[in-house]
């Protein structure tokens, strides 16, 4: 019976209903494909000279590149890789996507509001962020989508993790900026734009058929490109980036681990 149930859930995860159609579904599917092709490419693991490793803490590594638009606006992309024990890709991505718990871990925001529910896994959100002196306060409006990804769509492998276990599943969250009638710009606020991907893969220890928390490892690849929406002093902006991204990744993963520790594993 157990074998049959496992087989059923394996088949179910491969036969997915076509994604619900809404005004952003085509663009969102495109973004997802793009991130699956580029974001999880292994080149950023330090071998690629153009990425600077600026923070390393155990398994967590953060890279950036200096990129400026014409006019001097700094849009340095951020790329982080991490491996966490005991929590699954689904648990991490669900909590990252869920607006109900956003204020419990997101330290840079002041408010978060759902502008539109597009489907049971896609929403349009509006957030205001804490002001960083001397710059004006920033807000952002973006589509946020949560997906489980079929394993055959994943082009890049993680050999170290494959030595530990078998790749069980992959989940992701994509956040990218859009305009929305329910998110008009307020006086004094500057609109920033985002392009964020959080891609997580869970591995189950070789030979284990009924995994518990101690039998799993999850890799996280997180990328973010934020356009601050107008000129801000480059040095100050880079200082904020280099402080806030490690703080985010550390706080968020610790938050998920704490929330999930007494719950049964949700693979």
Q: Least distance in Å: CB of 210 to ligand 18C?
A: 34
Q: Which residues contact 255 (CB under 8 A, 6 or more apart)?
A: 95, 104, 105
Which residues contact ligand 18C (rule: CB under 6 A)? 106, 108-109, 127, 129-130, 132, 135, 138, 140, 175, 192, 194, 196, 224, 226, 228, 232-233, 236-237, 240-241, 244-245, 248
Nearest to 123 by CA among 107, 99, 158, 140: 99
With H, G, I as helix, E, B as strand and everything else as coil, classify residue 3.
helix
| Angle between helix 89-97 and helix 234-260 axes, rounded to 10 deg | 120
d(CA 105, CA 213): 22
d(CA 24, CA 33): 14
3-state secondary structure 108-137: CEEEEEEEEECCCCEEEEEEEECCCCCCCE
With H, G, I as helix, E, B as strand and everything else as coil, classify residue 103.
helix
d(CA 141, CA 178): 6
């Amino acid at each position: 019976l157990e074998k049959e149930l496992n087989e059923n859930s394996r088949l179910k995860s491969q036969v997915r209903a076509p994604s619900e159609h809404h005004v952003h579904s085509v663009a969102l599917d495109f973004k997802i494909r793009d991130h699956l092709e580029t974001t999880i490419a292994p080149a950023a693991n330090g071998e690629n000279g153009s990425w600077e490793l600026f923070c390393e803490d155990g398994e967590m590594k953060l890279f950036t590149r200096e990129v400026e638009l014409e006019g001097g606006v700094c849009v340095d992309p951020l790329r982080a890789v991490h491996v966490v024990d005991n929590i699954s890709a689904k648990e991490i991505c669900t909590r990252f996507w869920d607006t109900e718990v956003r204020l419990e871990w997101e330290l840079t925001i002041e408010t978060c509001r759902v502008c539109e529910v597009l489907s049971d896994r896609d929403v349009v959100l509006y957030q205001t962020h804490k002001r960083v002196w001397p710059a004006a306060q920033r807000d952002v409006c973006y589509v946020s989508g949560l997906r489980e990804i079929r394993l055959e769509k994943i082009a890049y492998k993680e050999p170290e993790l494959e030595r530990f276990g078998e790749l069980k599943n992959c989940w992701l969250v994509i956040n990218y900026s859009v305009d929305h009638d329910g998110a008009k710009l307020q006086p004094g606020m500057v609109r920033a734009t985002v392009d964020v991907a959080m891609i997580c893969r869970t591995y189950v220890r070789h030979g284990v058929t009924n995994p518990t928390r101690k039998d799993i490892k999850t890799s996280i690849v997180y990328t973010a490109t934020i356009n601050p929406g107008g000129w801000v002093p480059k040095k100050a902006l880079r200082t904020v980036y280099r402080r806030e991204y490690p703080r985010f990744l550390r706080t968020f993963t610790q938050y998920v681990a704490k929330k999930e520790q007494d719950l049964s594993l949700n693979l």
